[in-house]
Structure formats: C-alpha cells, structure tokens
Amino acid sequence: MSFAANAEIDLKALHSNFLRARQAAPHSNILAVVKANAYGHGTEAVARALTEADGFGVARLNEAIALRRAGIRHKVLLLEGPMHMDELADIVRLELDLVIHHTFQFDMLEGCAQFQRANLWLKFDSGMGRLGFDIRNGGEILARARRLQAVDQPLRLMTHLANADDRDDDHTARQIERFLEFTDGRDCEISIANSGGTLAWAQSHQDWVRPGIMLYGISPFAGRLGRDCDLAPVMRLRTRLIAKNRMRKGQSVGYSGLWRCPRDSWVGIAAIGYADGLPRHTPTGTPVLINGEKAPLIGRVSMDMVAVDLSDLPASAAGDEVVLWGGELPVEEIARAAGSIPYELVCRVAPRVPRLILD
Ligand SMILES: *Cc1c(COP(=O)(O)O)cnc(C)c1O
C-alpha cells in the first residue's frame, strides 16, 4: 500500500487490449511483448493476465528468468538473443526461444550441443538498420541455422518495422514487401508486426505478431490516442497533494525560482518527482487531474515532489488524489508535453512506485 505515488494497473483493460490484437490479427499467433517490466506495468501481473498469449517476448535474460520464476510455462522469446556465452546455461535450462541476428551468436551456439533442439528465430534487416542479417546473405544464414538444429524443427524468420508509428509512411509497405519476397516459399514461420503492424498493416500479420505498446492501451501511432485505436489505458499514475499553500504575487516556487506567482495563488505540492518517473523536463502548464479537474504543473519537477497551481480549484485540499496520467488524462498527451514518447514514460516509472493491481 502506498499513500504517495503509485501506479494502478487495470488488468481488465490489459485483457481487452489483448483481445483487440486478436481481433486485428485473427489468424496469427500472438507473442505478447513484456520487456522492461512489461513496459513498466509489472511483468508478473501482466503475464499472468495474458495466459491466452501464444508466447512472451523479452529483451534481457533476467526478464525471461523473472517470467519462469513467476511460473510462466509459455514460449518465451529473447528478442535480442544471447549476448554472452555465460547466458547459455540459463537459456537451455529455462527452454527459451532465441533470436539470432548476428554471426557471433552462431559462433557461440555452434560450440554447444544442447542447441540442437533450440527454437531459433532468425532476424533479418529489411530496412530498420539496427539488428538483423542482410537479406542478401539469407540462403547462407538459413543453411547455417539448419546445420545447427540437427533436430527437424520449424525455423522462424523475423524482421522489425522502423516506421510503423506513421500510418502514411510507405517505408513500412516496402519493408514488408522486401521481407515477404525473401521468405516466400521457404517453409518457415514468419513474424513482422509490432503494435503498429498489428493494427494497421494486415500484410505484416503472418504467423506471429509481436504487439507491445498496444497491450498497455497506448497508441503506437504518433498523434493518436489509445482510444482512437479502441484501446483502454492500463496504467494510472497517481499520488496525493501533501500541501496546499497560499503564495503572494511575485513569490517563487521551487528550485531555481523558475516559477513566480503571477497573482496571489494557491500552490499545491504533489508527492511525485523524477525519482518516481515523472520526467524532469515536464514543463509548466502540463495538466494533472485533481478530483477529476485539470490543473497545471508549475516550476521545476524535483526528485520527490512537483508543484501544481490550484488557484482555479478552490475546493482542493491537502490529501487529495492527483493523477499524472491514465484514464481521462492520456499518457500520450503528457509524453508529448514532456518532449518524450509514452513508451519512455511508462517504462521509466520507478521501482519505488508500487503497482496496485486491479483485477
Ligand atoms: C519491443 C519490440 C516489439 C513491440 O513493439 P511495440 O511497438 O511496443 O508494439 C516487437 N518486436 C520487437 C523485436 C521488439 O523489440
């Protein structure tokens, strides 16, 4: 229990967003992406609420270990594959699926007989310019993977979309086309789509979709809100007012005196700061909700606190709840105000902020 900053996690909303992904890509398996502590929402609670998923995707071995510890027996894919020899023992023991995107990973695995049974996902670069083999070497890479997997298993071929946040960008169509041309007739399972692909590019659906951000009720498209995509926000970040002070015109508020009261004002102090995950660059004027009404943040965000102008909310009082994002206050809007993206805001909610699970 926390009377200061806490994040309420609505598992019903999470589940309805999962069904939205099913509805959007009805013929695909769903690999629910739960990296970075399920985008800050809490891996364990999220994975347990998504038992209908066909698998989970994580970015780090310790995230996969957390899933197995939580009793998750599903397929778990390490999205960046093994990074060091010393990870291989855990990978085998936990029966993880692996992305292989680089020859150094083949070099590691080829020395280890246990990988004859591994489930490999070969990642190719179709235009992201980050991870993945060059499609022009595709035949050679596939042959190398088949030699490694002595046991006859389906290989999976994947790629990642670079510009799927923009529905009008034809780079996405070109990536999909290039990749499907390469995979055509190879008798492998195929995976292309992130959330943007899942919602907007049916051609990208194929055998496996890999939605992340949409599961948390957040729009993958720049300039759109979750609700525009029939998604429901899962996280509500909130805290309380721990002071309401009368300040005179001209008095300054907080570090550096960044804000000076333009009139006699009521200033609230909310118990949340950058150490909780409220970005320090969140500017004056960014709204919060107090008793369902908007009020502007003022001055510098400090480590544990931030100030709010309560002059237009005469009924507000110390002890009132303050919502930073969630519900009627979309995290997409707060991210834009803070010069960030909603992905970053939710995944940076700090460990000291308790997640209160609503199921
Ligand atoms: C993070 C990630 C995803 C999910 O992306 P969203 O934009 O959050 O849907 C899918 N695939 C890979 C390889 C990823 O790293």
Residue 209: pLDDT above 60?
Answer: yes
- Verify whether residue 35 is a known catalytic residue: yes
Closest CA to ligand 1's atom 14:
79
Asked whether the beta carbons of 200 and 214 are under 8 A apart, the reply is: no
Residue 212 Cα to ligand 1 middle (Å): 5
Query: Residue 165: its pLDDT value, please?
Result: 87
- First vs last Cα of the chain: how many Å apart? 16
pLDDT tens, position by position, 311-327: 999 999 999 999 999 99
C-alpha–C-alpha distance, residues 67 and 44, integer Å:
7
| Probe target for ligand 1 pocket from 58, 79, 190, with the most ligand atoms within 8 Å of CB | 79
Residue 1: pLDDT above 70?
Answer: no
pLDDT tens, position by position, 115-147: 777 899 999 999 999 999 999 999 999 999 998
Residue 78: name the closest of 89, 64, 92 by CA: 64
Atom of ligand 1 nearest to the CA of 210: 10
Q: How far is CA 337 from the centre of its chain?
A: 19
